[in-house]
Amino acid sequence: MAFPAAKQTEWPQLLAGKRIAIARDAAFAFVYPANLEMLAQLGAELAFFSPLADAALPDCDAVYLPGGYPELHLETLSANSALKADLQEHIEAGKPLYAECGGMLYLLDRLSNRDGDSASMLGLLPGQAVLQDRLCGLGLQQMDFPGGALRGHTFHYTRLETALEPIARAARASGAGSGEALYRRGSLLASYFHAYFPSNPIAAARLFLK
C-alpha cells in the first residue's frame, strides 16, 4: 500500500472558489506537504491559522485540522474560547470540517496527557482521549470515505473513548484486525487516520465540499 504521487498534471477544479482554513502551529505540525499541494491543484485557496495564537477563524468555506501534538498545549488550546466559538459557529452553519489524529483530539470534550493533566477541548465530538505509554496505532491503511477511498497511515499514542458509532473503518495493509474508525457528526469528519490526498484527489476534494 504505497503512496504514489498523482500522475495527472491537471485536475478538475472541484475546489475552485473555495477557501480552506488549515490549522498550522506547534500543536498541529503534521501534514503531508503533498496534501496541501493537492488542494491547491484542485483549485482551493489555502488560509492558515493557529489554534494556539489566533482569536478568530479565517473567513472560509471549510476547515482542515491536521495531525500534531495538542496534548502538549492543553492549557493554551483550552483557553482560546474565541476561536472555539468560531469553530462551533462553522459547524452550526453546516460547513465541512475534516480532522485527522491530533486534529480529532482537539474536537473532543477533553484531552489528557501522560502526567494526568486534563483540559476541555472544542466539545464538537463527544468523548475524551488519554495519552498512553505505548503506541496505540501504527501502519499503512486505506479508508473508505463518503467520497471515495484514500490511502494513508496511522500513528498515535492516545486512546479514544467515545459513545459515537463510526461510519466506517479503515482496512489495514498488513496484520489482523480492523483499522482506524471514521466518525461523523453533522458536517465534520474525523479519524486517527492520516489521509494521503494524492492517492485519490477526487475523494480528497469531496472532504471539503458540502
> The CATH number of the domain where 71 resides is what?
3.40.50.880
pTM: 0.92
Spatial distance between the Cα atoms of 187 and 209, rounded to a whole number of angstroms:
10
Q: Is the residue at 8 inside a domain?
A: no
Q: Cell triple for residue 117?
A: 493533566
Question: How many CA within 13 A on the CB side of residue 157?
Answer: 12
> Which letter, b or e, does each residue of 80-96 get, where b requires 16 or more Cβ atoms within 10 Å of its Cβ?
beebbebbeebbeeebb
Q: How many domains does the chain have?
A: 1
Reduced to 3 states (helix: H, G, I; strand: E, B; else coil), residue 95 is: coil
8 Å CB contact between 138 and 179: no
pLDDT of 46-103, one tens digit each?
999 999 999 999 999 999 999 999 999 999 999 999 999 999 999 999 999 999 999 9
Q: Cell triple for residue 143?
A: 479508508
pLDDT of 95-141, one tens digit each?
999 999 999 999 999 999 888 889 999 999 999 998 876 755 566 89
Q: Is the residue at 29 inside a domain?
A: yes
Q: Does the pLDDT at position 209 exceed 80?
A: yes
In the residue annotation, 101 being an active-site residue is answered as yes
Closest CA to 105 of 85, 132, 82: 132
Q: Is the residue at 198 inside a domain?
A: yes
Determine which one of 15, 22, 65, 101 is catalytic: 101
Q: Is the residue at 123 inside a domain?
A: yes
Which pLDDT does position 178 carry in this prediction? 76
Q: Is the residue at 13 inside a domain?
A: no
| Domain region containing 25 | 19-206
